[in-house]
Structure 1
Amino acid sequence: MTFTDIQTLLEDQFGSIFRANTQNPQPYLVVPADRLVEVCRFLRDDNRLFFDLLACITAIDNGTSAGTMDVIYTLTSIPYEHNLALYVTVARNQPDEPLPGVPSVTSIWRTADWHEREAFDLVGIRFEGHPDLRRILLPTDWVGHPLRSDYQEIDQYHGIRNQ
């Protein structure tokens, strides 16, 4: 099944809520955050699609000037051998504001648990409804999110020089 076929099925089901980008080597659909869970559930449960594998969740900080962050979902249907990338774009928070939020998809793909925790830990995306959202790679008392474009590396952590 081609990207266009998948896009058509999704638009038949959900209307024109998607924005497609076909300029990249891997085309993708931009999904509104508030529709993410129902779209993902459809992608997994519809027999024509059967995206049974959430291969990866990646978060990207587009920088302070862009003012946005992207969460990228890479999906695969193992039996049908087709792939799909979904993007969710959220507003980037200011230092004194709560982290931006995206609904968790752990209820759809259990593997999202660790992927979402990594994006939370390193980029600072809050996954609403996640069963155990806590740091996974950094110590629990670490301050900040190291993959943010404005992250300031600390000189020392518990007396250990950071060079």
Structure 2
Amino acid sequence: MEFTNSFVLEAISREFPDSVISASEPYGTLTLEIKKEDLKKIVHHMKESSLDFIHLTDICGIHHPEMPKKEIGVIYHLQNLVHSHRVRLKTYMPLENAEVDTLTDLYAGANWMERETFEFYGVKFKGHPDLRVILNEPDIGYHPMLKQYPLEDGTRLDKDDVMFGR
């Protein structure tokens, strides 16, 4: 058996036939868009089955305000260390219901990655043991990576547009 993107896609599609929304291979990495409600059971299967994706490399958020009902995304990078094979999983949700199941019970390393995603994008991770702000001031009151804030602070007096050729 050769451990390829098509092998992994076939194994996941066979086990969860209605859960994969789309599949692609940007830069050679298998990328699957997964239904939000099925994400945790798919990740659990990928870790505990012979697929053996035992390493969670990263969790991050993304904001696409131009995509109605799919404004917020959470992206997971998993790796099979034996075959050095990586997979990217994406799930999307509306901004007003940005919530997905925690993976902290599957991967201890998910703890701080989920906290960071919560802090910067406002995604709530259901079942997370300690979901709170860790990098900004605790009372920041907003999620700074959302694309709904101006890029520059209009209250600053030390920024004269003339100095920047505007």
TM-score by shorter chain over 0.5? yes
Give 1:162 shift: 10
Determine the C-alpha separation between the residues in 1 that align with 2:124 and 2:86. Answer: 26
Determine the C-alpha separation between the residues in 2 that align with 1:4 and 1:28. Answer: 11
Deviations 1:88-125 (A, max 9, x none): 111122xxxxx510111111111000000000001111
Selected match of 1:145 from 136, 143, 148: 143
Give 1:23 shift: 5.4
Amino acid at match of 1:147: M
**What is aligned with 1:4?**
6
Selected match of 2:46 from 29, 43, 48: 43
Call closer, same or farther: CA 1:5–1:149 in 2, change over 3 Å. same
Give 1:154 shift: 6.4
Give 1:151 shift: 2.6
Give 1:43 shift: 0.4
TM-score (norm 2): 0.84
Q: Which runs of 5+ in 1 are unaligned?
A: 94-98
Determine the C-alpha separation between the residues in 1 that align with 2:145 and 2:154. Answer: 17
Amino acid at match of 2:76: Y
Pairs aligned (count): 153
Determine the C-alpha separation between the residues in 1 that align with 2:45 and 2:85. Answer: 15
Please show how residues 28-39 of structure 1 align to structure 2 within 5 Å.
28-39=31-42
Call closer, same or farther: CA 1:162–1:69 in 2, change over 3 Å. farther
Please show how residues 1-163 of structure 1 align to structure 2 within 5 Å.
1-22=3-24, 24-25=26-27, 26-47=29-50, 49-63=51-65, 65-67=66-68, 68-93=71-96, 100-152=98-150
TM-score (norm 1): 0.85
Task: Select the structure of larger CA radius of gyration.
Answer: 2
Call closer, same or farther: CA 1:70–1:162 in 2, change over 3 Å. farther
Question: 2:25·2:31 contact (CA, 8 Å) conserved in 1?
Answer: no
Q: Which runs of 5+ in 2 are unaligned?
A: 160-166
Amino acid at match of 1:36: L
State the Cα RMSD in Å. 2.2
Determine the C-alpha separation between the residues in 1 that align with 2:54 and 2:95. Answer: 30
Q: Per the alignment, in what secondary structure is the counterpart of residue 26 of structure 2?
A: coil
* Identity between Structure 1 and Structure 2 (%): 25
Stretch deviating more after TM superposition (103-112 or 19-28): 19-28
Determine the C-alpha separation between the residues in 2 that align with 1:106 and 1:143. Answer: 25
